C-alpha cells in the first residue's frame, strides 16, 4: 500500500485537461523528438559530409552513428533523472522547454563545426543528449495525461501516427537537405526540434510538485530494477531480440554501394525511404489484425523467416527499380518481425515496470542495430564483398529461428484479446 501511494504521489498532475491541447503537445512532441535526430533527418546529410569531406571508411561511419546515439542507450536513466529532480516545481514543462531550446542551439552550433570526424561526433552527441531528455519527457507526459484523462488509447494511436509520418518524410526530406547543403540541414533540424517549444509553453500546464522527492523516485526505480533482474521471461525475450538484431549489418556498406557503384543521387537515396516506410506502416496494420487471431509464436516464426529470405534479395540490388522493390519488401517483412519481437518483450515485462522495461528493450535494440553495422562495415573495409555480407546477415538472422523453442511457452501461445473482453477484464481492477 505504501509503495502504491508513493507511486501515485510521483505522477504528474496535468492542469490543462483539454484533450485537444494534450493532443497538440503529443503531436508536436513526438514530431520534434523523432524527426530531427542525427540518426534520422540528419543521417543522410551527415553521411555525405563524412564520406565526401572527412573521407571516412565504412567502419568509421558506422562507429560515428553508434557513438553519437550513446544518450539513447541510457534513456532509462533520463526517466529516473526527470522524476527525481523537478525543475522550478515541475517534472515535465521546464525540462521540455529547456531541452528543446538547447537541442535547437546545438543543431545551429553544428553549422560552424569543421567537417572533421571528431568535431561532428561531439556535436551530434550533444544534440542527442538534449533530444533524449525531451523525448523522455514527452513519453512520460503521454502516459500520465492519458491515464488521468482516460485517453491512453487515443493518445498512443496519435503517437504511432506521428511516428509513421516521420518515417515517411525523413527519407525524401533528408535527401533534399543532403543535396542543398549541410547548413540547410542543421537549420531545418533546429527548426523542427524547436517546434514543440511554443506549444509546450502555451499548453503544457502541470501542478507544482514537492521539491524533495528524489529518495522516493530512486526507491521505486530500485524496486523496478530488482523485479526486472529477477524476470527470467523478460531476459529470455531480450536475449532473443539481441540475437536477431546483432546480425552483422550492411546499412553503411549499402550506402557506399548506392553512391560509389550504382551512382544514385542524394535525393534518390532519400526517396527510397518512402517505399520502406510505407510498407512498414502496412506491416503494422497487418500485425494489428493478425495478433488478435494468431499466436505470437507463429507470427514471430513467419516474421523472422521472411526477414531472412527478404535479406537475400539484396544480392540483386543493382538497379533503381530493383532497389525500390527490395526496400519495399524489406520495410514490410523486417517491420513485421520487429513488431513481433517488441510485442514479445512487452508481454514479458513484469507488471509495474512497464516504462523502465520498455526503455530497456529499446536501448538493447539500438545498441544491437548500430553495433551490428560496425561489424558489417569492418568486414566490408577488409575486402568482404557486399554479397558475402548479405549472406552472412541472412544466415545469422535465420539461426534465430532455432532459439524459438527456448522462449517461454505461455508467452509464445499468447495473442491479443478482443477489445470488449479486455475491457471487461480490466474494469474491476483498481489503479495502484
334 close to 318: Cβ distance less than 8 angstroms: no
Residue 183 pLDDT exceeds 50? yes
Tell me if the pTM is above 0.85. no
H helices of 69-151, where? 70-73, 75-84, 93-110, 117-149
Q: For residue 175, give the nearest of 188, 162, 164 by alpha carbon.
A: 188
Question: Mean pLDDT across the stretch 252-278?
Answer: 93
Q: For residue 208, give the nearest of 92, 352, 373 by alpha carbon.
A: 92
Supply the CATH classification number for the domain 224-416.
1.20.1250.20
CA 242, 244, 250: angle at the middle one, nearest 5?
105
Please state, in angstroms and as integers, the Cα–Cα distance from residue 267 to each residue in 175, 259, 263, 273, 278, following that order. 4, 11, 11, 10, 17
Tell me whether residue 403 is exposed, middle or buried, using C-beta atoms within 10 angstroms of its C-beta: 0 to 12, 13 to 18, 19 or more.
middle
> Quick one: pLDDT band at residue 423, thresholds 50, 70, 90?
very low
Sign of CA dihedral 161, 167, 170, 172: negative
**pLDDT digits over 16-28, tens only?**
456 777 778 888 9
Question: Mean pLDDT across the stretch 73-90?
Answer: 78
Dist. CA 9–CA 216, nearest whole Å: 9
Q: For residue 9, give the nearest of 188, 210, 158, 161 by alpha carbon.
A: 210
Supply the CATH classification number for the domain 1-209.
1.20.1250.20
Dist. CA 277–CA 314, nearest whole Å: 17
Residue 147 pLDDT exceeds 80? no
DSSP single-letter state for residue 369: H
Specify the pLDDT at position 352. 64
- CATH 1.20.1250.20 domain residues, the chain: 1-209, 224-416
Q: Under 8 Å CB-to-CB from 379, ≥6 apart: which residues?
A: 248, 388, 389, 392
Residue 298 pLDDT exceeds 80? yes
Specify the pLDDT at position 431. 35
**pLDDT digits over 340-364, tens only?**
887 777 777 776 666 667 677 778 8
> Quick one: pLDDT band at residue 421, thresholds 50, 70, 90?
very low
206 close to 15: Cβ distance less than 8 angstroms: yes
**pLDDT digits over 31-79, tens only?**
999 999 999 999 999 999 999 999 999 999 999 999 999 999 988 888 7
The fraction of the chain above a pLDDT of 90, given in percent, is: 41
Q: What is the DSSP string of 80-95?
A: HHHHHS-BTTBSSHHH
Question: Comparing 98 with 222, which gets the higher pLDDT?
Answer: 98
> Quick one: pLDDT band at residue 7, thresholds 50, 70, 90?
very low
> Quick one: pLDDT band at residue 291, thresholds 50, 70, 90?
confident
Question: Mean pLDDT across the stretch 299-315?
Answer: 91
Question: Measured in whole angstroms, how far is the alpha carbon of residue 241 from the centre of its chain?
Answer: 14
Amino acid at each position: 500500500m505504501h509503495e502504491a501511494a508513493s507511486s501515485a504521489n510521483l505522477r504528474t498532475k496535468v492542469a490543462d485537461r483539454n484533450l485537444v491541447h494534450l493532443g497538440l503537445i503529443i503531436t508536436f512532441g513526438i514530431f520534434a523528438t523523432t524527426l530531427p535526430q542525427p540518426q534520422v533527418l540528419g543521417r543522410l546529410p551527415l553521411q555525405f559530409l563524412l564520406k565526401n569531406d572527412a573521407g571516412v571508411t565504412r567502419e568509421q561511419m558506422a562507429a560515428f552513428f553508434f557513438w553519437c546515439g550513446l544518450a539513447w542507450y541510457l534513456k532509462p536513466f533520463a526517466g529516473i533523472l526527470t522524476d527525481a529532480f523537478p525543475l522550478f516545481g515541475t517534472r515535465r514543462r521546464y525540462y521540455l522547454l529547456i531541452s528543446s531550446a538547447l537541442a535547437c542551439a546545438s543543431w545551429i552550433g553544428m553549422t560552424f563545426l569543421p567537417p572533421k570526424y571528431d568535431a561532428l561526433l561531439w556535436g551530434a552527441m550533444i544534440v542527442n543528449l538534449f533530444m533524449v531528455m525531451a523525448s523522455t519527457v514527452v513519453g512520460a507526459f503521454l502516459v500520465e495525461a492519458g491515464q488521468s484523462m482516460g485517453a491512453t488509447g487515443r493518445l498512443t494511436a496519435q503517437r504511432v501516427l506521428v511516428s509513421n509520418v516521420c518515417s515517411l518524410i525523413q527519407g525524401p526530406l533528408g535527401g533534399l537537405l543532403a543535396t542543398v547543403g549541410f547548413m540547410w540541414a542543421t537549420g531545418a533540424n533546429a527548426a523542427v526540434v524547436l517546434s514543440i517549444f511554443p506549444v509546450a509553453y502555451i499548453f503544457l500546464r502541470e501542478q507544482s510538485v514537492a521539491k524533495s522527492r528524489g529518495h522516493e523516485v530512486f526507491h521505486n526505480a530500485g524496486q523496478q530494477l530488482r523485479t526486472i533482474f529477477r524476470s527470467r521471461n523478460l531476459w529470455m525475450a531480450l536475449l532473443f531480440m539481441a540475437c536477431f538484431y546483432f546480425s552483422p549489418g550492411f546499412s553503411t556498406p549499402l550506402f557506399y554501394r548506392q553512391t560509389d557503384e550504382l551512382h544514385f543521387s542524394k535525393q534518390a537515396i532519400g526517396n527510397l525511404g518512402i517505399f520502406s516506410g510505407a510498407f512498414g506502416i502496412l506491416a503494422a496494420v497487418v500485425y494489428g489484425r493478425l495478433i488478435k487471431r494468431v499466436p505470437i509464436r507463429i507470427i514471430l516464426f513467419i516474421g523472422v523467416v521472411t526477414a531472412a529470405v527478404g535479406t537475400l534479395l539484396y544480392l540483386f540490388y543493382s538497379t533503381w527499380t530493383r532497389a525500390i522493390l527490395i526496400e519495399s519488401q524489406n520495410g514490410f517483412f523486417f517491420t513485421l518481425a520487429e513488431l513481433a519481437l517488441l510485442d514479445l518483450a512487452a508481454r514479458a515485462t513484469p507488471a509495474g515496470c512497464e516504462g523502465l522495461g520498455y526503455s530497456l528493450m529499446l536501448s538493447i535494440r539500438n545498441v544491437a542495430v548500430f553495433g551490428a553495422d560496425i561489424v558489417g562495415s569492418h568486414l566490408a573495409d577488409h575486402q568482404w564483398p557486399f554479397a558475402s555480407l548479405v549472406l552472412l546477415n541472412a544466415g545469422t538472422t535465420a539461426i534465430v529461428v532455432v532459439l524459438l523453442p527456448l522462449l517461454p511457452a505461455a508467452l509464445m501461445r499468447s495473442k491479443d484479446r478482443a477489445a470488449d473482453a479486455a475491457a471487461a477484464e480490466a474494469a474491476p481492477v483498481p489503479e495502484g
